[in-house]
Every structure is written in C-alpha cells, then in structure tokens.
Amino acid sequence: MTAQLDKDSEAFIDAARGFAALAVLITHSLDFGIRGVYGLDLVNAPDVWRWMAASIGHGSFFVWGFFVISGFCIHLSILRSKQMGTFNWSGYAAARVSRIYPLFLLGLLLAILVWWFTDDPSSAEATRPWPQFLASLLSLHIFTTSFPNFMPSWSLSNEMIYYGAWPLLLSMVGWRASRALTLGGASALIVCLLIGYIWSVLHRLETSTAVNGLWSVSVLFPLWLSGVWLVENWARISPHV
C-alpha cells in the first residue's frame, strides 16, 4: 500500500470534492425553491419546473459521488498516519468531528430557529422533535429522521458512521485494507438482504424509521468503500481517470 499521490491526482480529487459539495448546495436550493413556490408534490407546477426538480434539483448523484471521494480521502489519511506511526483513535476522532460539527451545529441552530418561529411550540398541535434533536447531536439522526427544516443533513449522519466504521473494520483484520473491504462489503450486503426479506417477505417494519436508516447506511456503504478501493489501486487505474 502507498499513501502517495502525485500533485495532479491530488488536485483532481480536491476539485471533484469541491464540485460535488457545490453541486449538492445548488441542487438542494433549487429543489427547495421550486417546492416552496409550487408545493411539495409539484402537481400544479409547469412541466419545465417539474423536469428541473427531478433532474437538476435532484442532488443524490452528487451526494453519492461525495461518499466515494470521502472514502478515498479518509483512507488515504489513515494510510499516511499509519506509515508515519502517528495514527491514534483520539486524534482521528478529533479531526473528523472538528471538520463537520461546527457548521453542522450552526445549521442545526438555524433549523431550530425556523421550527420555533413557524411551528409555535406552545400550541397543542406543535411537533416535539426532541428525539431528532438529541440524535442529531450524536450524528445518529439517520435513524430518527433529521430535525425539521434540516432534512439534507441526513448524509452527514451517514458520513460520521462511515468515519467510525472504516478504521474499526481495519483494526479487526490487522489493518489489511483488502480484508476490511471484503468484510465491509459483505456485512453491508447481508444487512440489505435481511432488511429486504423483512420488508418484502415478512412485511414487517416497513414504516420503521430506524430500519430505514439502517438500510440507508448499509446500501450506501459500498459507495464509500469504493473510494477506499480507488486508493488501494490508484497506481494501476490513475492513467485511466
């Protein structure tokens, strides 16, 4: 394994990461703007705006791409730390939390303010999203749904879970990336098959938010793992990228 990338490759990865982040911001803004004007179901929206909401306003593709890049960058960072003998769990956790939490907490605060002034917490019909709030503080809101008005933050919950899962998998197999990739991919597949069986055959837990969150984490984990695979095979595939 090598933790070295040439300067052109590093510039390419940084550019792709920045483009994906900006594209997610633009698509969410466009989608919310269209639905704010024409309603959530877009029944009364002109065809051109419905088309834009379903294509340009759909940010999932860029979120998936960001997961791939995230797996690439995190694994590369771990590799470099291991090779220099500086990797430790506390430092790794501090680095991950410090890069996501400050802006995430700011976004959560803004969502709370919007909820407070639009939902009137004093009314009898008001929602009480405290489970979502507490889960958000732990980055586990993928299992409870996101706090009201902060729905796009679901992907950050997935990210934080992957941040913890990947070095844990590596440590379980003696820091051998190929084995960790196999274990991670197989585990995600087993969980997805099990949930699919529960939903499609047993018809149980079909409306469970927690199970739906587990499905999201599991079914998207291979995308994150594919970024790790790119690092492990970069010297061989980089001429084709």
d(CA 93, CA 32): 33
Predicted pLDDT of residue 164: 95
Predicted pLDDT of residue 209: 94
Beta-carbon contacts of 155 under 8 Å, excluding residues fewer than 6 positions away, are 63, 66, 67
d(CA 166, CA 177): 10
pLDDT-wise least confident of 39-48, 143-152, 192-201: 39-48
10 SS3 class: helix
Predicted pLDDT of residue 208: 95
When pLDDT is averaged across residues 108-119 and rounded to a whole number, the result is 89
Predicted pLDDT of residue 35: 82
The residue with greater pLDDT, 141 or 239, is: 141
When pLDDT is averaged across residues 60-67 and rounded to a whole number, the result is 89
pLDDT of 154 higher than 60 = yes
When pLDDT is averaged across residues 199-212 and rounded to a whole number, the result is 95
Predicted pLDDT of residue 213: 96
Predicted pLDDT of residue 69: 93
Query: What percentage of the chain exceeds 70 in pLDDT?
Result: 95
Predicted pLDDT of residue 184: 97
d(CA 215, CA 194): 10
The residue with greater pLDDT, 37 or 74, is: 74
d(CA 164, CA 180): 13
pLDDT of 84 higher than 70 = yes
Predicted pLDDT of residue 123: 59
Predicted TM-score (pTM) of the model is: 0.88
pLDDT per residue over 179-200, tens digit each? 999 999 999 999 999 999 999 9
Q: How far apart are the first and last CA of the chain?
A: 19
Surface-to-core class of residue 89, CB atoms within 10 Å of its CB (0-12 exposed, 13-18 middle, 19+ buried): exposed
Predicted pLDDT of residue 122: 61
pLDDT of 120 higher than 80 = no
Mean pLDDT score of the chain, rounded to an integer? 89
pLDDT per residue over 28-42, tens digit each? 888 888 888 888 788
What distance lies between CA 94 and its chain's CA centroid?
19
Predicted pLDDT of residue 235: 82
